[in-house]
Amino acid sequence: MRRLTRTAAGAASACALVALAGLGASSGSAAAGYGKAGNQSGSVARAPSAAKIAVGKSSLGAILVSGRGRSVYLFEKDHRKASTCYAACASEWPPVVTSRVPVATKGVLATMLGTRKRRNGTLQVTYDGHPLYNYAGDAKAGQTNGQGSNAFGGAWYVLSPAGRKIDND
């Protein structure tokens, strides 16, 4: 009976360790800022191996776009080199993140492309020093539904290939 109790206790301990290891594996990716649970930046998508920034077409003319042709925006409240968009802001305006040096394609000036580390450790893509974001309200390539929005304490604008905000007001 004593041997059976020890075996049962050992099995329970082993199950608990396996369960904790599984939790650690799933929370590790969230802690790195790649999942929804437990990150400070809202719903940041898993970072691609290297984010690609290109020039795309929109109703506003030539603009910078990220993967799948989604428009990228600058946030005027950001300090030139640091993001101020976290939590609820980053859920609506997900930062463009990468795990490697971003790739300049189709008309993008590679010398203007860079990264800045966010508070959660992820690398956010920058262009001419501006941290870049997508807008959750843009469902497909070429949409600029966030253009000129005033949300989270500042205005949002798409960027030209020269790194300047496009402001048609």
Position 31 scores a pLDDT of 29
How many Å apart are CA 70 and CA 63, to the nearest integer? 10
Q: Provide the greatest CA pair distance for the chain.
A: 82
Of 90, 73, 95, 94, which Cα lies nearest the Cα of 146?
73
Per-residue pLDDT tens over the stretch 81-100:
789 999 999 999 999 999 99
Those residues with Cβ within 8 angstroms of residue 95's Cβ, 6 or more apart along the chain or in another chain: 41, 44, 83, 85, 118, 122, 124, 125, 131, 132, 133
Q: Domain residues of the chain, as ranges?
A: 52-158
Question: What integer pLDDT is reported at residue 25 of this predicted model?
Answer: 33
Q: Which pLDDT belongs to residue 106? A: 80
pLDDT along the chain (169 residues), means of 10: 43 37 31 34 56 96 94 93 94 97 94 96 96 97 96 98 90
